[in-house]
Amino acid sequence: MNTLVTLVIPFYNEELSLIELLPRVKDNLEQSGIVYEVLLINDASTDGSNAVVEKFIIESKDKNFKLIRMHTNSGQTGCFKKAFSEASGEYIIRMDADLQDNPSDLYFFLEKINDNADMVMGIRENRNHSHILKFSTALYNLLIIMLYDSPLTMHSGSFIAFKSEFVKDIPFKNNDHRYLPLIAINRGANNIREIIVSHNERIYGSSNYSLLKKVLLGIPELIFFLVRLRFGFYRK
């Protein structure tokens, strides 16, 4: 497979996770035989995350791994906006840095990419999340089903692949990274595949999402997003 694939991994204070994650990502990508680049987006971490990435790049001698440093903490939306503008791949895969996404599942994404999918959604087999996150995800999906005609089984997730043409030059608003699958569909993605992926328990650190962020603020945010989507704000 000669298609260039860009893997995007944003991170904030994930020093311990990155020590384990980066070699596993490299091993799985090399075993796949694809042409790849990995963009590691440091969202102004205050721990040793940056040093871990720099050390790995030097010691691995893999020039396909690239570190991008955000000057201020910009959140995941800011990280993806920067990463998508820098990505060279015909496809872009996004995954989290906290080890909850399994790098060995990259094979299943690449299999669907090889079949010319426009988007590949990773559906988590077992969601190792708190009750707050599980509740907010269920509510999020219910609202989308009620307010928007979507072909997807699930609308949230961190492990997703896109043809880059559907996510390049998005006029991002705050927290639009949460709605990338719907934006891609709105921009013409129609050959959509869903695959089952594993979801591990978080080993290091803790989630920054609270009930306030996920539910009380998330509902009006979602409604405003759907209004923008309905009126063509994101169309190319």
pLDDT in tens, the chain (236 residues): 689 999 999 999 999 999 999 999 999 999 999 999 999 999 999 999 999 999 999 999 999 999 999 999 999 999 999 999 999 999 999 999 999 999 999 999 999 999 999 999 998 876 555 566 666 667 777 777 776 777 777 666 789 999 999 999 999 998 999 999 999 999 999 999 999 998 887 777 666 555 555 556 677 888 899 899 999 999 98
Residue type, 131: H
The answer to whether 114 and 1 have CB atoms below 8 angstroms apart is: yes
Distance CA 216, CA 223 (A): 12
CB neighbourhood size of 225 (10 A): 22
Query: Which residues are within 8 A (CB) of 182 and not within 5 positions of it... i.e. 6 or more apart?
Result: 144, 148, 150, 152, 155, 229
Q: Global pTM?
A: 0.90
164-195 per-residue burial string, b: 16 or more CB within 10 A, e: under 16: bbbbeebebeebbbbbbbbbbbbbebeebbbb
Among residues 234, 216, 124, the alpha carbon closest in space to that of 179 is found at 234
* In this structure, CATH architecture of domain 4-128+156-205: Alpha-Beta Complex (3.90)
User: Quick one: pLDDT at residue 213?
Assistant: 57
User: Quick one: pLDDT at residue 210?
Assistant: 52
226 exposure class (CB count in 10 Å sphere: 0-12, 13-18, 19+): middle
User: Quick one: pLDDT at residue 216?
Assistant: 61
